[in-house]
Every structure is written in C-alpha cells, then in structure tokens.
Amino acid sequence: MAEAGGDAAQPAGGTPQPPAPVAPAAAPAPQRQPVGRVHRLGGINIKPSEAVPTADVAQLVKGEEQQELPPLELEMLKPWWAEALQKLKAEQPKLAESLGSRELKVDGKDHFVILVPNAYNEAEIKPYLVGLLETLRRLSGRRMLNCSIEIVYEEKAAVIYSPRDKYDALSAKNPALNTFKVLFPEVDY
C-alpha cells in the first residue's frame, strides 16, 4: 500500500505517476505610460488633456455675461413662437393649434406669459412646456428665456332674472334712465 502524504500521486493500479510539469515564470508585463486619469461624471469620460482649464471656462462665462441681449419684446417673440409651434405641430397638431390661438405677454427681460382661459388649458399645456421652451431658447439664442402660464378670468355678466334686475343693469350703463323714475313714479321699475 502507498504511504499517506507521499509526493507522487498513485492511481488505483498502484503505479506511481511523475509529478506535473511546472510552467516557466511569465515575463513581467511591459509598463504602460499613464496617459492621464479618466474622470467619470455621469457617463461622460473626460481626460485631463481634453478638458478645458477652469480659468478658460470662467472667461467664457464672463464673456457671455458681457454680451447684453436687448430686452425681450413681443415682436421678437412672435416669429420664434410661430416656428416652435410648427415643430410641435408634427407631434401634437391639436395642442399646436390651441397654443397658436393663445395670447402672449412679455413680462420682464427674458420672461413671457401664455394667457389661457381656464385651468383645463393650463393642465393641457404644462407637460409640453419644457420642450417648447427648449425649442424657443435654441431658436432665440436666449438661454435664460423663461415662461409661465397665467389663467385669465373673465367676469361673466350678471344673469338677469326679473324686470328689476334688467332695469338696474341698464341704468348702470345709462344713468339717463333714472329720469323715468321721476317722470313716471307709478311704474314699477
């Protein structure tokens, strides 16, 4: 029988096997020169050699601030608005038609307001407002362009139920009707 702990492995037949050959030591891998550390920011790979130095970025930002854009005016906004609506018309023709009939109001240097008659129209427009603003910013070159939606409530005329209500409404429009009260006091107005 074979002794326990022997060097050679013996098969069940009892003949000793030679030890397995040892592979020669691998040559060391050549050292690679570091090209630059790759920074990962949200899926964007930037090597330091490709990145813009921070001083240049600050200068670019200052250069943009120095370039003063004229205040936004309604006449400037209308062509951009029409072109943005044409692009929206391909995806949402009914919404584009609805927005085309809305009144716009400029409110500030880079801010405008879309006037809508009710909350339903406001809810209809809100999901598409971000995409519409991106298109308007690209067309106008104004990165700070902003928009809001305002509901314009129209006062409804009072409903006239009786002759007295009718007389009061008409006398408010035409005060000369009150002279009839003096001339004909017996008539119930």
- Which DSSP string corresponds to the chain? -PPTT-SS---TT-PPPPPPPPPPPPPPPPPPPP--PPEEETTEEE-TTTSPPHHHHHHHHHHHHHSPPPPP-HHHHHHHHHHHHHHHHHH-HHHHHHHHTSEEEE-SSSEEEEEESSHHHHHHHHHHHHHHHHHHHHHHT-TT-EEEEEE-PPPPPPPP-SHHHHHHHHHHH-GGGHHHHHH-TTS--
Whether 145 and 162 share a structural domain: no
In this structure, is residue 39 part of a structural domain? no
- 22 lies in some domain: no
Q: How many domains does the chain have?
A: 2
Q: Is the same domain home to 140 and 80? A: yes
Say whether both 143 and 160 belong to one domain: no
Do 83 and 145 lie in one domain? The reply is yes
Residues 80 and 142 in one domain: yes
Name every residue whose Cβ is closer than 8 Å to that of residue 170 and which is 6 or more positions away in sequence: 177
Residues 87, 125, single domain; the answer is: yes
Identify the pLDDT of residue 107: 87
State the residue range of the domain holding 122.
74-151
pLDDT for the residue 59: 53
Q: Give pLDDT tens digits along the chain (189 positions).
A: 444 555 555 555 566 676 666 666 666 665 655 555 544 545 555 454 444 455 555 555 555 544 678 888 889 889 999 999 998 888 889 988 988 889 999 988 889 999 999 889 899 889 888 889 999 999 988 888 899 999 888 777 778 888 888 888 888 899 888 888 888 888 776
CA distance 129 to 175: 48
The verdict on 144 and 160 lying in the same domain is no
Q: Decide if 84 is inside a domain.
A: yes
30 located within any domain? no
